Amino acid sequence: MLPNFVLVGFMGCGKTTVGRRLASITGHRFVDADELIVKDQKKSISAIFSEKGEEGFREIEERVIADLVGVAGIILSTGGGAILREANRISLKKIGIIIWLDAQPEVLFERAIRSGRRPLLQNENPRQVFDSLLESRRPIYESTADFRFDSTGIDHDEVSRKVLDLAMRQSREP
């Protein structure tokens, strides 16, 4: 059976869209960690951040991700900060092949800000916060993922096909 694939990467990198396409190509079930958190809490991500703070959100995120260890046949899309906790990094490695979806900062910022629903960017200076988060997280994506794919300038269908190809090669390596 095809292994699971896990998408990690910064807000705006296209994890959800690419994840859904990968699911439809592979026949795997698409699972979005943020959606599971929303269902679990019956509240939006923004409401969870404002009521419980970022640490409260991270606790729920860790539990939701840990619950997926051992589940087969999934494409998992994670929130941009899911790689911050070591417990999550360990769980994600157990879940499947980890793909870091990346893009140029300008592209990420434009997409991340567009929805207006990302609590970490709801502040006076979103660009500054974005830059410092990106800088601090890049090395963690790098060390956690099995490989990186830069999607700048490539449409989501092509990204999905190429990512699948690379992931399949990765899964065949000893």
Helices marked H in 27-125 — which ranges? 33-41, 45-66, 86-95, 105-114
Q: Which residues have a Cβ under 8 Å from the Cβ of 22 and sit 6 or more positions away?
A: 5, 7, 28, 30, 75, 160, 163, 164
The nearest distance, CB 148 to ligand S3P, in angstroms, is 16
Rounded CA separation 43/46 (Å): 8
**Partner residues linked to 6 by β-bridges:** 76, 98
Considering beta carbons, is residue 72 or 104 the nearer one to ligand S3P? 104
> Which residue, 34 or 102, has its beta carbon nearer to ligand S3P?
34
Q: How far is the CB of 23 from ligand S3P (least distance, A)?
A: 16
Binding site for ligand S3P (CB under 6 A): 11, 15, 34, 45, 79-81, 118-120
Q: Of 69, 96, 64, 97, which is closest to residue 79 (Cα–Cα)? A: 64
> 67-79 as b/e, with b when 16 or more CB fall inside 10 Å?
ebeeeeebbbbbb
Measured from the CB of residue 80, what is the shortest distance to ligand S3P in angstroms? 3
Our CB check for ligand S3P shows the closer of 21 and 118 to be: 118
Q: Which residue is nearest to ligand S3P (CB)?
A: 79
From the CB of 118, what's the least distance to ligand S3P, in Å? 5
Minimum distance from residue 9 beta carbon to ligand S3P (Å): 7
Rounded to whole angstroms, the Cα distance separating 26 from 164 reads 9
